[in-house]
Amino acid sequence: MTPVVRLVMVGPFGLRPKGTMAARALPLARELARRGHQVTLVLPPWSWPQDSGRVWEDEGVRVLNVVLPRAPGPLFHLQLTRRLLDAVLAQRHDVVHCFKPKAYSGFVQAALWARRWRGRLVLDEDDWEGWGGWNDLEPYPWLAKQVFAWQEGWGLRHADVVTVASRALETLVLGHGVPRERVVYLPNGGPTDAPAGDRARGRARWGLPPDAPVVLLYTRFFEYKMDRLLEVFQAIHAARPDTRFLVVGNGLYGEEKDLLARTAAHAGLRAAIVYAGWPGDDALPDIFAASDLALYLLDDTLVNRAKSPAKQLQLLAAGVPVVADAVGQATVYVGGNEVGGVLVRPETPVAMADAAVALLNNQERRATLARQARAWVQQHYAWPRLAERLEQVYLGQTPTDSLP
């Protein structure tokens, strides 16, 4: 019989609007709770103040949001860190799993290590946060960037185990001197039980013709240059003028406004773009069902090589064939040998457009890729399998299975 693990997962922010805790930690926590473990998420909800002080249960997982302080400036950060640490220590736990080495979760890890806490201390790395990573993308103050870079390096070296969400992160962490036996590959999982969408309903909602080819861009925009996206759209539209481009998602820095503004001068192309914004998770099944294929653009940067693209997994799990740049984990998620999607050389708009047009012209190939994509995610990236792998980590065991 597997021993019960009393587990606390600590976040650097709340469940909304940022994605890591809701899209990675919570699905793992739910599956671990189903396996009989006692799981609490402890969160500092500065990113969603409406949750300040709220506690609830989510499919067997206790979600505890600490009360946000009212203190100004640096005192806010100090008090919030203290409240987060107190909430963690108040739990009866065997394992603390800190998600991301930066900011509040990084401070909690450092405090537990300094107190010589005797439980198992696990750190999760799902992005590269320091120099060359998110430090270069986010407009953080200079001092904050210095702190985050230090936290990442220190945190990796002062955890009993580091879970990494991509093969590129695995290489980076090993390169920082973390012993091989303390690094565990734990990619993101796909929603293998998501409800099926309705193609006709999805097309009707977004004003898409019933018989037109529909190319989906499910995106946050910041992973690639806008010029390249426009070149891909233009090349596809030139080859298949009947194509509609369904764009779903909001930009990190308002990139969607740039897209719409720059296509305004191209009347034919602009008319072919349907911008849906962010309609919510409930709308995604119909959006996926309405689409014939999806584009997944990634410039060949350290941030993109290190990331574990959850959106790509959602597409594959829903059976949407993906044409993706062969960058980092995106290559792994289509099986390396194009199971469920087509890979193209990074940052080559013509190659991506040609691959997309070839798929639009081959319905049988799309159907085959759709079946393969669903099966591939179910076989390798189902959350229950990944939770079982994580359970072995918590119990001090080496995971017995292998993942792509």
Tokens 């980076």 — which residue?
172
For residue 20, pLDDT over 70 is answered with yes
Compute the average pLDDT of residues 281-291: 96
What per-residue confidence (pLDDT) applies to 161?
97
For residue range 339-371, list pLDDT tens digits in order: 789 999 999 999 999 999 999 999 999 999 999
What is the amino acid identity at position 292?
Answer: D
Least confident of 10-14, 135-139, 200-204: 135-139
Quick one: pLDDT band at residue 337, thresholds 50, 70, 90? low
Out of 3.40.50.2000, 3.40.50.970, 3.40.50.300, 3.10.20.30, the CATH code matching 199-380 is 3.40.50.2000
What per-residue confidence (pLDDT) applies to 384?
95
Question: What is the number of other CB atoms lying within 10 angstroms of the CB of residue 188?
Answer: 25
Annotate 116-134 with DSSP letters as a single string: T--SEEEEEESS--STTTG
User: What's the number of CA atoms in the CB half-sphere (13 Å) around residue 363?
Assistant: 4
What per-residue confidence (pLDDT) applies to 33?
98
Classify residue 80 by its DSSP letter: H
For residue range 102-134, list pLDDT tens digits in order: 999 999 999 999 998 889 999 999 999 999 999
Identify the residue with better confidence: 310 or 251. Answer: 310
What per-residue confidence (pLDDT) applies to 195?
84
| The pair of three-digit structure tokens given for residue 391, joined into one six-digit string | 């359970």
For residue 252, pLDDT over 80 is answered with no
Out of 3.20.20.10, 3.40.50.2000, 3.30.70.270, 3.40.630.30, the CATH code matching 6-189+382-394 is 3.40.50.2000
For residue 336, pLDDT over 70 is answered with no
Q: Could you give the CA distance from residue 391 to residue 37 in angstroms, rounded to a whole number? A: 9
Residues of the chain with CATH 3.40.50.2000: 6-189+382-394, 199-380
What per-residue confidence (pLDDT) applies to 304?
96
Secondary-structure percent of the chain, ordered helix, strand, coil, rounded to 5? 45, 15, 35
Least confident of 97-106, 191-200, 306-315, 340-349: 191-200
pTM of the predicted structure, to 2 decimals: 0.94
Q: Which of 121, 286, 260, 278 is nearest to 194 (CA)?
A: 286
What per-residue confidence (pLDDT) applies to 388?
95
For residue range 374-386, list pLDDT tens digits in order: 999 999 999 999 9
What is the amino acid identity at position 381?
Answer: Y
Determine what percent of the chain is predicted with pLDDT higher than 90.
82
For residue range 61-98, list pLDDT tens digits in order: 999 999 999 998 899 999 999 999 999 999 888 999 99
CB 106 within 8 A of CB 151: yes
Question: What is the number of other CB atoms lying within 10 angstroms of the CB of residue 128?
Answer: 24
